[in-house]
Amino acid sequence: MLYLSILNYNTNFNKKIIYCNFLKIKKNIFFLKIKKKKFKYFLNIKQTIFFFFFLKIWNKIKFKNNLLFLTFIKKEIRSNLDGIFKLYLISKGIIINNVLNLNKIFLKSKNLIWTNIGCFCIKDFLKLNFNIINLIIESIDKIPYLTKYFIPKNVRLSNSNRIRLGAFISEGTTVMSEGYINFNTFIGNNCMIEGRVSAGVYISSNTDIGGSCSIMGTLSGGGNNIISIGNNCLLGANSGIGISLGNNCIIEAGLYITSGTKISLIFKNKKIIIKAKTLSFLNNLIFYRNSINGKVECCKNYSNFDKINKDLHKN
């Protein structure tokens, strides 16, 4: 699948493009039938773009710092711009997370200095005259903040510096100061994020990620299993998960559950011990640690999650 954007760009001192704004995005731009009128052939805009691409001259179309840019969602990251464009597609909700090929995003992307007046290559930044510029360095990173490119609708972001481009945040969600959302993530409606949401994670609606909570992602040895959390779930403060949860599930505060964690539960009137991954995607469960014997246990959740502080969550 092909996506195309008209972008407005800035260059570094060596005239290489390092920053851009995406002005217009189109999907699957392939040529239609050529129109025939008065025995002459005319090309519409889509047909013209196709032939530019077919003749490999699309990357030469420039006009007043505007550029025609194309990417294939199944292809690996080709450049810094390609990586930012794909992350932008996720944040805009044009493509859901874990669909785009983001392989080599860290290999192909470059560290840039992101400031209140734009971004700079590190070498260029050292040549600036700091005495005449009211400059604030916001980050030195390969991936910018979400709000550098896109402002989500009807959300509260206590500290926007902790949300990377490539995160999709639905309406009604609140991200508190210590909440962190990595790229290639999805956050559903009316969630409260006070912990860490790692890359690749999918969170459904009305879910509360407690303070200092951590969700295992697919980077830095996290494996290939994508973690998802259902609707109306609660992860207590300082808890964490490495398995997926269904709807209406609760993790006790301070309890971290990985796929290999031994869980004790009652099944058909017998007490059995299973690995936590066996319970992935099941609904209405509570995970807690027995305060007497220290074992991790699981039981049915009959509580009503609607008892949370709605005034705090209201956006």
pLDDT in tens, 109-163: 989 999 887 888 888 888 877 665 678 888 999 999 999 999 999 999 999 999 9
Please name which of 174, 6, 145, 152 lies closest in space to residue 93, comparing C-alpha atoms: 152
Q: Assess contact for 78 and 102: CB atoms under 8 A.
A: no
Question: Per-residue pLDDT averaged across 231-242, rounded?
Answer: 96
Question: Per-residue pLDDT averaged across 248-260, rounded?
Answer: 95
Q: Assess contact for 77 and 47: CB atoms under 8 A.
A: no
Specify which of 52-56, 82-86, 134-138, 180-184 reaches the highest per-range mean pLDDT: 180-184
Higher pLDDT, 141 or 9: 141
Quote the pLDDT of residue 49.
57
Q: Which residues make Cβ contacts (< 8 Å) with residue 236, sequence separation at least 6?
A: 210, 213, 250, 251, 252, 253, 254, 255
Please name which of 235, 243, 221 lies closest in space to residue 286, comparing C-alpha atoms: 235
* Structure tokens given for 270: 């017998």
Quote the pLDDT of residue 202.
96
pLDDT at 290 over 60: yes
Quote the pLDDT of residue 38.
42
Higher pLDDT, 61 or 239: 239
Higher pLDDT, 191 or 28: 191
Quote the pLDDT of residue 39.
38
Taking the model in full, what pTM does it have?
A: 0.84
Cα separation, 287 vs 204, whole angstroms:
19
Higher pLDDT, 247 or 304: 247
- 178 catalytic? Reply is no
pLDDT at 187 over 90: yes
In whole numbers, what is the pLDDT of the chain averaged over residues? 83
pLDDT at 61 over 60: no
Q: Assess contact for 23 and 7: CB atoms under 8 A.
A: yes
Of 171, 178, 194, 252, the catalytic one is 194
Quote the pLDDT of residue 46.
54
Quote the pLDDT of residue 223.
57
Quote the pLDDT of residue 103.
84
Quote the pLDDT of residue 37.
44
Q: Assess contact for 225 and 249: CB atoms under 8 A.
A: no
pLDDT at 5 over 50: yes
pLDDT tier at 70, thresholds 50, 70, 90: confident
Task: Tell me the backbone φ, ψ of residue 79, rounded to 5 degrees.
Answer: -160, 175
pLDDT at 233 over 70: yes
Percent with pLDDT over 70 in the chain:
80
Question: Per-residue pLDDT averaged across 63-77, rounded?
Answer: 76
Amino acid present at 115: T
